Amino acid sequence: MRNSKKVTSFRHGKVVFKWCDECATLVLGDECAICGSVGRPFSVTAPGDLRPCLQADTELLKRIFYTYFGVPDFLDGVQIFLNKIPGEDRADEIVVDGRVIGVLLFDIVSDDFRLELRIDGARALADIAKKGVVEIDMPRGHLKGKNIPGTMIKRARGTFNANDPLIVLAGDFICSGIARVPSDQAKNSERAIGIRDVGRGRLRIAGKKRCWSRFVEANISYFKTLEAKAVSDVKSYLNSKKDMPVTLSFSGGKDSLACFGILEKASKKFSMIFVNTGLEFPETTEYVRRFAEKRGFELLIADANNGFWNNVDFFGPPSKDFRWCCKVCKLGPLTALIEDRFPKGTITIEGNRTFESFARARIAFVENNPFVPNQIILNPIREWRSVDVWGYIWWKNLEYNPLYENEYERIGCYLCPACLASEWKRTKMLHPKLSSQWEKYLYAWASKMNMPEEFVKYGFWRWKVLPKKMRRLAADIKISIPTVRTDCIQMKMVKGATPCVAGGFSLEGVVMIPRKRSFAKIAEMMKTIGPVRYSDEYEIAMVKTKDGTIKVFGGGQIVVTSSTPDTTDELFELAVKALLRSQLCTECGICVKNCQRKAIKLNDGPMILEERCSHCGKCTDACVIAHYYDKLVSR
């Protein structure tokens, strides 16, 4: 959770790691704990959330390299690391022997993986590849970025298809390339091969067989230091709040598992909380129960039951930018559990990491959760990378979720819109009944919304507002897809202004509106009502005024509490108008002109200068969208 004045940032460029050639493993600390080597530096794309390549992914890579180059064996027994980079779907840099040899990509249209060969991969495979190698005459000028005509091809090792990665030999140069046409058409093509990058000299993959225990051994001092700091931070805070009970948020994922190891050393007395969204993988629920029982800790389950299926018809499929399911299936059950079991509050240790997403890039060690009353969150591994987490888990010999051995990078709800298409393909193989139930619903929903089947087939449903990469995909496959999902604006009153258990009155409703802008714009517009606190991750914004409290959620849910029914209704109307204005603003500038304090600027919708805004409401009164509020919203 963060104050609205904070700006979330993320890392770009390159990140440097080190590789010990003697011990054939990654070095995370100052030196290798086995041989004392400081390591050879190599770089990966930022933010550099490097992770080990586990068994299923290793087998996948062997299949890929065999398909293109006929040589899978060079990967046997060696340590491989993956580094997630931006892409249409799954995109991972492949690190072998301390060098990025390629990029593993999942192609949504073909529903399969492909390889983009990097120059170090070409240099390493040039002599051992049984296919995918082309020798050409040396052209004039520079090679990088050049398209080579078929007449310059001297010989080829094996056959290839269009778009296959190639190793191109040109005199003393070794190049990574791509086939523009199939090998049987190459001789007659003016653009037979594209050159991506150019280098000199062969590389030899050391091929030293190293299990992951070797990686842990080489970095044991580093992991001890990581643990010591995290344990110290947690202990220090818990000692300052000795009267508050301690809990661990245990999702069944690797990050919460690492936090278990830390908390077990920092405090022997704590309970584990598992939020069962009703959409968990069977492997996850079984793993969580088994782990807690084996370790002898109390497991508290916040159960959403059928909350998702009871609400999906009204809200529609959740999307990356429309995550109503988080409130219904996570925050709701969690709030109820904490209010019931910890009425005076709890300190919860969570495995949030800054490298996971833009939304988490600025998390602090201590976070007050304004949306779950009386919960203080500690984030002891916030600065850890994925490779730190895995090394720590192996060092502490902690049993992890078996799904990680099945090509899953992250583990959450099985139908989460944030999951990759590659992971969804795996889910269909592992759990055909669960996946077919969801796909059946999606196709029926798409038909009702007059969407083509491709809207579901290629995963366009996962966004309310399509990002550029998905708009490009739609253009590439020549289908007409609306940029914004065609959900109409409707308002459903969940509960009228009724007496609240905590005192005063409360009112709840849901406004269904097509999302044209991010949730941050909703939070921005709510600044016209009062000071805003919001969460990017859970898409929740809260305003406290002298008359009451307003909470607006990313799914359009609005909850208002106030001292009287009239003020409750007034605050609710203000919240709905702010929501509509944030999404339907035409940037006409009327509000800017009507603001005497010059507190509004336009930048893809209004931007509110909090230090100038007096919350007078004149901008709302002047807005055409707010004026026709009762016409825009269907009850």
Name the band, by pLDDT with cuts 50, 70 and 90, for residue 622.
Answer: confident
CATH topology of domain 2-200: Sulfate adenylyltransferase (3.10.400)
Residue 359 has pLDDT above 90, yes or no: no
What does pLDDT average to over the chain? 90
Q: Where in the chain is the domain with CATH 3.10.400?
A: 2-200
pLDDT at 119: 98
**Cα–Cα distance measured from residue 384 to residue 398, given in angstroms and rounded to the nearest whole number:** 17
pLDDT interval class at 316 (50, 70, 90): confident
pLDDT band for position 486 (cuts 50, 70, 90)? low
Residue 2 pLDDT: 31
CB 4 within 8 A of CB 533: yes
Q: Just give the CATH number of 490-632.
A: 3.30.310.10
Most confidently predicted of 172-181, 356-365, 500-509, 621-630 = 172-181
Q: Enumerate the CATH 3.30.310.10 domain ranges in the chain, comma separated.
A: 490-632
| Spatial contact of 564 and 510, defined as CB atoms under 8 Å apart | no
Q: Residue 342: is its pLDDT beyond 90?
A: yes
pLDDT tens digits along 52-98: 999 999 999 999 999 999 999 999 999 999 999 999 999 999 999 99
Q: Residue 335: its pLDDT value, please?
A: 83
* Residue 112 falls in which region: left (phi positive, over 0), alpha (psi -120 to 50) or beta: beta
What tokens were used for 500? 């609240």
CB distance 309 to 428 below 8 Å? no
**Would you say residue 268 has pLDDT above 90?**
no
Order of strands, sheet of 532-535, starting from the edge strand that comes earlier in the sequence: 2-3, 532-535, 540-544, 548-553, 557-562, 505-512, 490-499
Percent of the chain whose pLDDT exceeds 70: 92
What are 104-132's pLDDT values in tens digits?
999 999 999 999 999 999 999 999 999 99
Confidence of residue 613 (pLDDT cuts 50, 70, 90): very high
324 pLDDT tier (thresholds 50, 70, 90): confident
What would the two tokens of residue 526 be? 């709510």
Give the pLDDT confidence score for residue 10 in this predicted structure. Answer: 46
Query: Is the CATH number 3.30.70.870 carried by domain 219-409?
Result: no
| 3-state SS, residue 605 | coil
Per-residue confidence at 358, pLDDT binned at 50, 70, 90?
low
- pTM confidence score: 0.80
Q: Return the percentage of the chain with pLDDT > 90, whole number.
A: 71
> Where residue 5 falls among pLDDT bands split at 50, 70, 90?
very low
Res 596: pLDDT: 83
What Å distances lie between residue 516 and 276, 311, 366, 573, CA to CA? 31, 22, 33, 21
- pLDDT above 80 for 137: yes
- The CATH 3.40.50.620 domain(s) of the chain lie at 219-409
Q: Residue 494: is its pLDDT beyond 90?
A: no
Over residues 13-65, the pLDDT tens digits come to 999 999 999 999 999 999 999 999 999 999 999 999 999 999 999 999 999 99
pLDDT of residue 487: 57
Q: What is the DSSP string of 184-248?
A: GGGGG-SS-EEEEEEEES----------HHHHHHHTHHHHHHHHHHHHHHHHHHHHHTTTS-EEE
Whether pLDDT at 8 is above 70: no
517-562 pLDDT per residue, tens:
888 999 999 999 999 998 888 889 999 999 999 999 988 889 999 9
Predicted confidence band at 371 (pLDDT cuts at 50, 70, 90)? low
Per the omega criterion (within 30 degrees of 0), is the bond before 47 cis? Answer: yes
